[in-house]
Amino acid sequence: MEITASYELNPVPVTVLYLAGKLDGNSYQELIHEAQRQYDAGARDLVLDLSRVTFLSSAGISALHTVARLFHGQTPSERQEGWASFRAMESDRAAGPQEHVKLLNPTPEVKNVLDIVGFGSLFHTFTDVQQAIASFR
């Protein structure tokens, strides 16, 4: 997986991570590590551009959830926790959309997976990067 970052200020600082390739068991840790690096550097609002993600597995879903918890100031779930991690996703979805991580342009295949697992209620999704950035206040 290839990950590049850009930084925007409109009206608050927003980090945009551009993901390309498969988000699966071979790459999910790359996303988590990059998100942790950005968070440790002071980022608090994040847009994940999924327009070039060609495949999203359960490990990728877990990575998205981990990033959401990290940017919400919560302890990220460990993938090794198995079903406990997925139960945490259930309670997080019930709490409403994530306010510090937004998704941008998921491919139809990725959007289908996100909808199947119920992440439509966990993440705001945008088709325009400037609208996604401006949604942070």
How far is it, in rounded angstroms, from Cα 129 to Cα 33? 23
pLDDT for the residue numbered 121: 79
pLDDT for the residue numbered 88: 58
pLDDT for the residue numbered 82: 46
pTM: 0.87
Domain containing residue 7:
2-134
How many residues would you count in the chain? 137
How far is it, in rounded angstroms, from Cα 93 to Cα 99? 12
- Where residue 33 sits, what CATH number does that domain have? 3.30.750.24
Per-residue pLDDT of the chain (137 residues; tens, 9 = 90+): 999 999 998 789 999 999 999 999 999 999 999 999 999 999 999 999 999 999 999 999 989 989 998 998 876 655 444 445 555 555 555 556 778 999 999 999 999 999 998 887 789 999 999 999 999 98
Angle, alpha carbons 35-39-40 (nearest 5°): 115
Taking CA atoms, 122 is separated from 74, 88, 97, in Å, by 15, 12, 4
pLDDT for the residue numbered 48: 98
How far is it, in rounded angstroms, from Cα 11 to Cα 37? 22
**Total domains present in the chain:** 1
Taking CA atoms, 35 is separated from 41, 108, 111, 112, in Å, by 10, 24, 21, 24
Query: Do 70 and 39 meet the contact criterion of CB atoms below 8 Å apart?
Result: yes
